[in-house]
Amino acid sequence: MDGNGRWATARGRPRTSGHVVGARVVRTIVESAENAGIGALTLYAFSADNWKRPTREVSMLMRLFRRYLLSEMDRCVQNGVRMRIIGRRDRIPAELRRTAETAEETTRGGTRLDLRIALDYSARDAMVMAAERAGGRALTRDSFVRLMNEVTHAGPVRDVDLLIRTGGEQRLSDFLLWECAYAELYFTDVMWPEFSPADLLAAVREFHARDRRYGGVQESVAAAG
């Protein structure tokens, strides 16, 4: 979800007003994901590096996250959406932490869409914390993923199929680095406040047109020897 600040600045408005519009877009995109049969959606809301931003913007974002969780909880229950907040929990405001826990508890029965919101998240920190937790035990890919999911509170996580980044930048910015090993990357110049259900469907369509070989060769090529 990138581009809120630039979108607002380009309109002569404070960056925070871009975040307010961006939060509304989250609702419509989550709804479209439900309807498009997407089983899991992870939104990058706040990275561990976003603490570097001005205090006023950070505290406004924390209040906005809490307001979003409070306003969406019931709708998520009705629509079978299970919410999880992934990332560290020891640095976010206590009120937000409590609301996040309530949202997770309230929506835990949801099976239609796994909605993960990455808050104070860093993929590299998650890997280091998982390795620390292993404490020298032998690791497999599966056991390492389980440890990472423990430290980020993510629950069972599959590999990412499609990563969409809005806002014109073409980088991963420490998001789900392990899970994106074979993700299809999709970059769009559309700023998050203008990202629409049609944009989401365009990305999904493009994803289906990609040839995913996971290091192998196309079946027809393999058959031809």
Compute the least distance from the CB of residue 170 to ligand IPE, in Å: 13
175 touches 154 (CB < 8 A): no
Residue 107: which region, alpha, beta or left (left: phi > 0; alpha: psi -120 to 50)? Answer: alpha
Active site residue 149: no
Site string for ligand IPE, 5-44 (x = CB under 6 A): xx------------x--x----------------------
Task: Based on the shown chain and the rule CB under 6 A, indicate whether residue 4 belongs to the binding site for ligand IPE.
Answer: yes
Active site residue 50: yes
- Sign of dihedral through CA atoms 138, 140, 144, 146? negative
The residue among 45 and 203 lying less far from ligand IPE, judged by its C-beta, is 45
How far apart, in whole angstroms, are the C-alpha atoms of residue 108 and residue 210? 34
Among Mg ion, ligand IPE, none, residue 23 binds (CB under 5-8 Å by kind): none
Burial label, 52 (beta-carbon count in 10 A; 0-12, 13-18, 19+): exposed
Task: Based on the shown chain and the rule CB under 6 A, indicate whether residue 173 belongs to the binding site for ligand IPE.
Answer: no
DSSP assignment of 120-151 equals EE-HHHHHHHHHHHHTT----HHHHHHHHHHH
Residues 2 to 61 in contact with Mg ion, rule: CB under 5 A: 2
| Interface segment toward ligand IPE; rule CB under 6 A; list 1-9, 80-88, 93-101, 108-116 | 1-9
- Sign of dihedral through CA atoms 57, 203, 174, 99? positive
List 14, 31, 43, 50, residue binding ligand IPE (CB under 6 A): 50
- Closest listed residue to residue 146, CA positions, set 163, 131, 167: 131
DSSP-H helix ranges across 177-217? 197-209
The residue among 22 and 87 lying less far from ligand IPE, judged by its C-beta, is 22
42 touches 86 (CB < 8 A): yes
Site string for ligand IPE, 96-135 (x = CB under 6 A): ----------------------------------------
List 25, 46, 157, 190, residue binding ligand IPE (CB under 6 A): 46
Task: Based on the shown chain and the rule CB under 6 A, indicate whether residue 167 belongs to the binding site for ligand IPE.
Answer: yes
Q: Which residues contact ligand IPE (rule: CB under 6 A)?
A: 1-6, 19, 22, 45-46, 50, 61, 167, 192
Q: Which residues contact Mg ion (rule: CB under 5 A)?
A: 2
